[in-house]
């Protein structure tokens, strides 16, 4: 009988150990499912991010191509052989009424004593790049060293020694071209 009780106790112990292993296995299985769920979520987030970055890249690339085509078109329209009509006006440095100072966009000081021999114009850099040599028909060549708040599109503003000369020049439509 002692043998039978011992066997029963051993069987109960084995059953308890088997159940414990089964419970631990279920716990491990749940942990593994949790890890798999986290991995799936991370992978989904990763793929979403890649998709978003790809979309952003594609949009930027399309924008770049559009800008490049615009650049090519502008370059073709503003070559040394092609004259384009521009509205040409005049301005003077350090004129509070014109909201101008002696410093231009490229960093030059326009104190006319220092630059009176340099023909300078303000341009829209989207149309004529800064530092370009611009020829205005009948007036000669100028260097585009400045920009202005009102200088948008096909508009050029010529620097004059004083406001009276700029006012006397007025507003004219003249043909111009970018030489370099």
Residues 94, 60: one domain?
A: no
Question: Rounded to an integer, what distance in angstroms lies between the CA atom of residue 134 and that of residue 140?
Answer: 8
Question: How many structural domains comprise the chain?
Answer: 2
The token pair that represents 136 in the structure block: 């205005």
Per-residue pLDDT of 55-89, as tens digits, reads 777 787 788 888 788 777 776 665 556 889 999 99
User: What is the residue range of 173's domain?
Assistant: 82-178
Residues 165, 134: one domain?
A: yes
CATH of the domain at 129: 2.40.40.10
Residues 54, 124: one domain?
A: no
Residues 94, 167: one domain?
A: yes
Last-in-domain residue among 57, 77, 97: 77
**pLDDT over 70 at 28, yes or no:** yes
Q: Is the dihedral angle over the CA atoms 79, 80, 85, 90 positive or is it negative? A: positive
Residues 68, 36: one domain?
A: yes
Question: Rounded to an integer, what distance in angstroms lies between the CA atom of residue 85 and that of residue 83?
Answer: 7
Q: Hunting for tokens 């040409």 — which residue is that?
A: 88
Last-in-domain residue among 30, 52, 77: 77
Residue 102 in 3-state DSSP?
coil
The token pair that represents 174 in the structure block: 């003249």
Residue 48 in 3-state DSSP?
helix
**pLDDT over 80 at 37, yes or no:** yes
Radius of gyration of the chain (CA): 39
Last-in-domain residue among 24, 46, 77: 77
Per-residue pLDDT of 87-124, as tens digits, reads 999 888 766 676 666 666 676 676 656 666 789 899 99
């Amino acid at each position: 009988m002692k043998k039978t009780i011992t066997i029963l106790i051993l069987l109960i112990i084995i059953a308890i150990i088997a159940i414990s292993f089964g419970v631990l296995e279920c716990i491990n299985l749940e942990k593994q499912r949790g890890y798999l769920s986290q991995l799936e979520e991370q992978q989904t987030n990763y793929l979403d991010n890649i998709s978003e970055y790809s979309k952003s890249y594609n949009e930027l690339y399309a924008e770049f191509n559009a800008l490049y085509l615009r650049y090519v078109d502008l370059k073709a329209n503003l070559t040394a052989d092609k004259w384009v009509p521009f509205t040409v006006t005049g301005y003077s440095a350090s004129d509070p009424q014109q909201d101008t100072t002696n410093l231009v966009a490229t960093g030059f000081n326009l104190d006319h004593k220092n630059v009176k021999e340099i023909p300078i114009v303000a341009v829209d850099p989207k149309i004529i790049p800064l530092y370009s040599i611009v020829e205005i028909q009948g007036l000669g060549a100028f260097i585009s060293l400045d920009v202005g708040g009102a200088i948008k599109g096909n508009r050029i503003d010529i620097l004059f020694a004083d406001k009276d000369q700029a006012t006397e020049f007025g507003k004219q439509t003249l043909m111009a071209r970018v030489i370099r």
